[in-house]
Chain A
């Protein structure tokens, strides 16, 4: 807005005689600035994101093993995948993962945020401690947890044993492989959820709580009637992001269980990876990645639409 008002006087001074070429020259100059500021990001985003996006759709319509020429199959990849029980299985595992992970990480993150929002000594240190796993790579976290959850001599099973409890086979037992992944994921992401909810808690005006206190509301009532509703925008953000990330779970599965034992923890992205690089079925892999994208998109759109019912913006 500022540029036109400021340049107008000078433009007007020289306007009558050379108005057209002058304006055109200025237009080119303006375009030059736009290109100067935008091209450094636009070129890489186009070449390394937009082009692959479009070509992935193209690949998904072909049969292709990455080596021999592509063979047009139309929508066959999609129809094959939709009728393949393997697809249902990996989506089910992904759903179980999300359903286990989200409540854990939200409840844990909320509890932490509530506590660390109070005036405690060493609060900064504690926040840093809880955030440390967030900055650590999945590979390290998965390795460390794989080792802590080692069924034979892992620390967790030693403690469970000492307490006289059962010692699950964790990643060697088909029933426990997915829960093992869920546990370590929740542990890692707790700090991230905590930070988002802390930011939300700090945005709640303190007089709301004081008013409720005057009205005689107890701690429990204040939590349910005030804190939780006023935290709903942050909750919404956490849920949306966790669902998007949860459906894309891969690193920790690949390192901890590699989808095993016997496919019991294989997730959608793991399947995409295996289809491409183990079985040479790039067309189907591309189709599966677009199905996954569609699922995530639909869920996200539904959430954004549904937010009016429960998200209160103060």
Chain B
């Protein structure tokens, strides 16, 4: 009996979590006029009109590609820069290493908001505002990634390196053929967080981007809201376009996220 109530509670909860998404999809295919009557569960005349309006209203493909491009690039770059730095901190010995690592950690503690104004000015001075590079710049390297990956590299036994060194392998060989394959779960976790961070980021694109051709999804969606305050089906169609890719990325990496969180010392 207790189990029954447990299931009931969890399923109701899951419904509450899923409902807004379900509703988003339903609204996006509901014929425009019927929205005024309030929400319905069953759509009588499903239509893709809202998606067509969306296509006409803004370069939605361009925006989608921008988002994928920037999120993809920042994920790849963060994996490269992060894993290299992680190897450097975990395996190389140099003076002031702890001070340098401390500087990395310091950048982690500064909220983005502190940086937004001067970063914007920097981009303006370099004449880089309204470019792909401006969108990408703050996410090329992340101290969070370095920190997480350093933990993972440290956990790789040094005996493996030593054996490889005897065989004549240099740092580059050890890094690419021994360390990288062994820290794959940590890399997956960093990849998901990097992709998520870039895909969903709002404040920085809002500040640095003016023209529609460089817009990312969160920006595009927020402008939709202004244009279509009464046409929620269009706004919800935009939301669907934005949720689907990230949901796919998440489902692909789901196992790694929960395992990754459990293994990175955030317990």
Contact = CB atoms under 8 A, between A and B. Distances in A.
A170 interface: no
A interface majority secondary structure:
helix
A30 B94 contact: yes
Nearest to B263: A199
A255 B222 contact: yes
B137 interface: yes
A105 to B, nearest CB: 13
B7 A198 contact: no
Nearest to B80: A40
B1 interface: no
Interface string B42-63: 0000000000000000000000
Interface residues of A, number: 88
B249 to A, nearest CB: 8
Given A49-B110, A139-B221, A285-B117, A44 B257 contact: no
A126 B10 contact: yes
23 contacts: A2-B161, A3-B165, A50-B107, A52-B118, A52-B119, A53-B115, A53-B118, A66-B124, A133-B17, A135-B196, A135-B247, A136-B21, A137-B217, A140-B221, A140-B242, A144-B239, A187-B16, A199-B266, A200-B267, A237-B267, A272-B113, A286-B117, A292-B113
B207 A277 contact: yes
A51 interface: yes
A158 interface: yes
Nearest to A272: B113
Interface stretch (A17-25, A95-103, A115-123, A173-181): A115-123
Interface stretch (A31-39, A76-84, A85-93, A221-229): A31-39
Contact of A269 (B6, B113, B138, B243): B113
Interface string B102-121: 01100101111111111111
B205 to A, nearest CB: 10
Contacts of B38: 153, 155, 158
Nearest to A150: B232
A140 B81 contact: no
A37 B141 contact: no
Given A38-B85, A48-B140, A143-B239, A128 B113 contact: no
Interface string A170-203: 0000000000000000010011000110111011
Contacts of A296: 111
A120 B258 contact: no
Contacts of A139: 200, 202, 217-218, 221-222, 242
Contacts of B6: 115, 118, 120
A130 B267 contact: no
B146 interface: yes
Contacts, number: 260
B251 interface: yes
Nearest to A293: B114
B17 to A, nearest CB: 5
B246 A59 contact: no
A151 interface: no
Contacts of A130: 13-14, 17
Nearest to B78: A41
Highest count of chain B CB atoms <10 Å: which of A6, A45, A129, A133: A45
A106 interface: no
Nearest to A289: B114
A132 B117 contact: no
Nearest to A255: B222
Given A49-B138, A66-B124, A135-B249, 14 more contacts: A30-B92, A33-B88, A41-B84, A47-B137, A51-B122, A59-B117, A135-B196, A136-B21, A139-B202, A153-B36, A195-B261, A202-B262, A289-B114, A289-B117
A75 B113 CA distance: 20
A128 B242 contact: no
A112 B12 CA distance: 12
Interface in B57-106: 80-82, 84-85, 87-89, 92-94, 100, 103-104
Contacts of B131: none
B111 A292 contact: yes
A169 interface: no
B257 A40 contact: no
B29 to A, nearest CB: 15
Highest count of chain A CB atoms <10 Å: which of B162, B200, B217, B254: B200
B151 interface: no
A56 interface: yes
A250 B113 contact: yes
Contacts of B203: 250-251, 269, 273
Ranked nearest first, the 10 interchain pairs of A and B with the lowest CB-CB distance are A37-B88, A137-B200, A199-B262, A52-B118, A44-B140, A41-B141, A41-B81, A41-B85, A139-B218, A56-B118
